[in-house]
Amino acid sequence: MDRAVREEMDGRDASDAGEPANCCVDKWGGLRLVSVLELANISKHFGAIQAVNDVSFSLEAGEVVGLMGDNGAGKSTLVKMIAGNFHPSHGTMHLEGKELVLHKPADARQHGIEIVHQDLALCNNLTAAANVYLGRELRRGFGPFRILDYGAMYKRAGQLFAELKSETRPRDLVKQMSGGQRQAVAIARTMLSQAKIVLMDEPTAAISVRQVAEVLNLIRHLRDQGIAVVLISHRMPDVFDVADRVIVMRRGRKVADKKIASSSPEEVTGLITGAIEQVA
Amino acid sequence: MAVTLDQTIAQKQHSFLSRLFSSQTFWVVIAVILACLFLSFATDSFATSKNLFNITRNVTFVAIVALGMTFVIITGGIDLSVGSVLCLCSMVLAVTMHAGYSIEIGILATIVTALAIGAFNGVLIAYLGFPPFVVTLGMLSVARSLAMVASNNTVVFQFGPDHQKLLALGGGAWVFGIANPVLYMIILALITGFVLRWTKFGRHIFAIGGNEHAATLTGVPVKQIKVAVYMISALSAGLAGIIQTGWLGAVTTNLGNGMELQVIAATVIGGADLAGGVGTAFGAIVGAALIEVIRNSLGLLGINAFWQGTFIGGAIILAVLFDRIRNFRRSD
């Protein structure tokens, strides 16, 4: 069924692909009463190790949330639960008011939760378009006689790169691309379907300064489309540059959840290291 | 802005010619043509219809198996068992038909055998995480031994009631005097090329070879596809076995001995990368052709047959060397 949706999407113009991805207008009569994602008392333990401990927070549409914390603070585990890689030991998740139970990453994708992996999960030997469509290739033909629709995939991938204001070309091999272009390919993937939430794991960790600006622009672009973005990052300047809100985790617990405007890098650093115990 | 979106979308990294010149397969084709031209002038016996018929037919068995091997190598795997599987499949066909069953049942039994072996290899590799090298090396030994068990290590040359049908299948020339094995090879190469280029399955094979982890994360059914490629490889060995049995009219237990090396060599010479992610059907055929032309020419030029291995090995190293040089240049 989702193939039909995708193919329908593919037929659309670039111009109308920019509408908010998570429109809940019909259901709630124009009012967005519920958060896109609501986590309640989520915990995860691996044997005796308590990786995530009683974490609750909510995500609004069109919001960028920076998720910060030291190594081992539980950021990745938390995100992996939202992406369907892990199943929470305790607690519940709600997507647009409905309970969300994920058994595998594909389930998350079906619900409009996309993840950009830290290593980007790209195949160097394939073209940009092939990578964007990896695992959900477009095909044409009838029944069992269906062949890859190269034209449509090049076209749509090209439109996505143009939307992202990236200089990436759909027919280029990923092998020969810069870090920023590779990020654009990984991010374009999340725009194929009607994503509601995009989780980004350290998208600026391994690229040059100029490319960081490029990636932050890509994130703003997702936000402008009404997508909720969770940005896991170690880089304070990036989070303060692009995020609306920052959540800090330390040793599995949420120790802060506040507007960027009412926080400061010093405070966040204190929270990460434990110099500041917790803020409301 | 001078560049429109359509131009960007249409933009190719390389022109047709630059892509052609940078392709290993192209240079191997040139090498084959040059070798053929040279041999036509240097010897009287090369460009005779009999010798050419010989060459084209000899190419086919290695080439057909190399087509199956191409799938495996593109995923970054290897199948060392193909020579033994070919032998076992030939033997299953021979023994079944010798026992009085029809050719249809014989072929069916052969194909089922091949697919079962491929599935066994594939499941061990994909689901239990065995290294492909080890599993298929084990199967190399097992399959040949089973062939000996099945035939009690005898030569089978009587194929029951459908004896003539089998010989015609492998030895005939039904269309325009082209040897049947060559026809089968062309058909299988076209199918392979189509699958690799135009199907989702083919695309996923390349993805697995390029970055298996990425393929898994993006929802490609990596394990099922890996099982499928080993089944395809074994199936191609089985088909080559059927055709070769019909061509030779007899099956011995040393059929296909050492063939895995020729097949892997053909695939690699034709441009496939043992690290995975690269390979074509046409390359496999051309690689097989180059090996056969080298082998044939050594005989015609009166060079001691003991030198064969040296020349074929040299061709493998040379082919990969060109690829390395290109990579060095690119990384500069």
pTM score, two decimals?
0.84
**Chain A: closest CA distance from residue B14 (Å):** 9
Chain-chain contact of A117 with B207 (C-beta, under 8 angstroms): no
> Using CB atoms, which residue from A121, A123, A155 is nearest to B9?
A155
Question: From the DSSP assignment, how many helices (H) and strands (E) are in chain A?
Answer: 10, 12
Q: Give the three-state DSSP class for B263.
A: helix
A106 reaches B (C-beta below 8 A): yes
- Residue A230: exposed, middle, or buried by beta-carbon count in 10 A (0-12, 13-18, 19+)? buried
A136 reaches B (C-beta below 8 A): yes
**Chain B: closest CA distance from residue A224 (Å):** 22
Query: What's the pLDDT at A143?
Result: 77
**Chain B: closest CA distance from residue A55 (Å):** 26
* Domains with residue ranges and CATH for chain B: 50-323 (1.10.3470)
Under 8 Å between Cβ of A230 and A200: yes
Question: What Rg do the C-alpha atoms of chain A give, in angstroms?
Answer: 19
Q: Which CATH architecture has domain A2-273?
A: 3-Layer(aba) Sandwich (3.40)
Q: What is the pLDDT along chain B (332 residues), one digit of tens a residue?
A: 456 777 777 777 666 777 777 777 888 899 889 988 988 888 888 888 888 888 888 899 999 999 999 999 999 999 999 999 999 999 999 999 999 899 999 999 999 999 999 999 999 999 999 999 999 999 999 999 999 999 888 898 888 888 988 898 888 778 877 888 999 999 999 999 999 999 999 999 999 999 999 998 888 899 999 999 999 999 999 999 999 999 999 999 989 888 998 899 999 988 888 888 999 999 999 999 998 998 888 888 888 888 888 888 888 788 778 777 766 765 55
A122 reaches B (C-beta below 8 A): yes
B-chain residues near A148 (CB < 8 A): 197-200, 203
> Using CB atoms, which residue from A119, A158, A176 is nearest to B5?
A158
A2 reaches B (C-beta below 8 A): no
Domain ranges of chain A: 2-273
The residues in A 42-101 lying below 8 A from B, measured between CB atoms, are none
Q: What is the pLDDT of residues B127-173, one digit of tens each?
A: 999 999 999 999 999 999 999 999 888 898 888 888 988 898 888 77
Tell me the CA distances in angstroms from B208 to A190, B77, B104, B174, one per residue in order: 20, 10, 36, 39
Beta strand pairing call for A253-259 and A139-142: unpaired
> What gap in Å lies between CA B211 and CA A131, rounded to an integer?
11
Chain-chain contact of A169 with B210 (C-beta, under 8 angstroms): no
A117 reaches B (C-beta below 8 A): yes
Chain-chain contact of A139 with B206 (C-beta, under 8 angstroms): no
Chain-chain contact of A162 with B218 (C-beta, under 8 angstroms): no
Query: What's the pLDDT at A8?
Result: 43
A-chain residues near B218 (CB < 8 A): 121, 134-135, 189
Query: What's the pLDDT at A33?
Result: 52
Q: What is the pLDDT along chain A (280 residues), one digit of tens a residue?
A: 444 444 444 444 444 444 444 444 444 444 445 688 999 999 999 888 889 999 999 999 999 999 999 888 888 889 989 988 889 999 999 998 889 998 887 888 889 999 888 888 899 999 999 999 998 889 998 877 889 999 999 999 999 888 877 888 999 999 888 888 888 899 888 888 888 999 998 887 767 777 788 888 889 988 988 899 999 988 888 999 999 999 999 988 999 998 998 888 889 989 888 888 877 6
Tell me the CA distances in angstroms from B267 to A122, B76, B260, B279, one per residue in order: 25, 13, 11, 8
- Nearest-CA residue of chain A relative to B220? A135
Query: What's the pLDDT at B329?
Result: 65
**Chain B: closest CA distance from residue A128 (Å):** 11
Chain-chain contact of A135 with B206 (C-beta, under 8 angstroms): no
- Residue A273: exposed, middle, or buried by beta-carbon count in 10 A (0-12, 13-18, 19+)? exposed
Size of interface A-B (CB pairs under 8 A): 86
> What gap in Å lies between CA A204 and CA A189, rounded to an integer?
17
Query: What's the pLDDT at B212?
Result: 93
State the DSSP H helix or E strand holding residue A259, giving kind and residue range, or none if neither: strand A253-259
Please state whether B297 falls in left (phi above 0), alpha (psi between -120 and 50) or beta. alpha
Mutate to test the interface with B, among A113, A123, A169, A193 (most CBs of B within 10 A): A123
The ipTM of this complex is 0.84
Query: What's the pLDDT at A20?
Result: 44
Under 8 Å between Cβ of B170 and B90: no
Structure tokens at B326: 């290109």
Under 8 Å between Cβ of A139 and A130: no
> What gap in Å lies between CA A176 and CA B326, rounded to an integer?
14
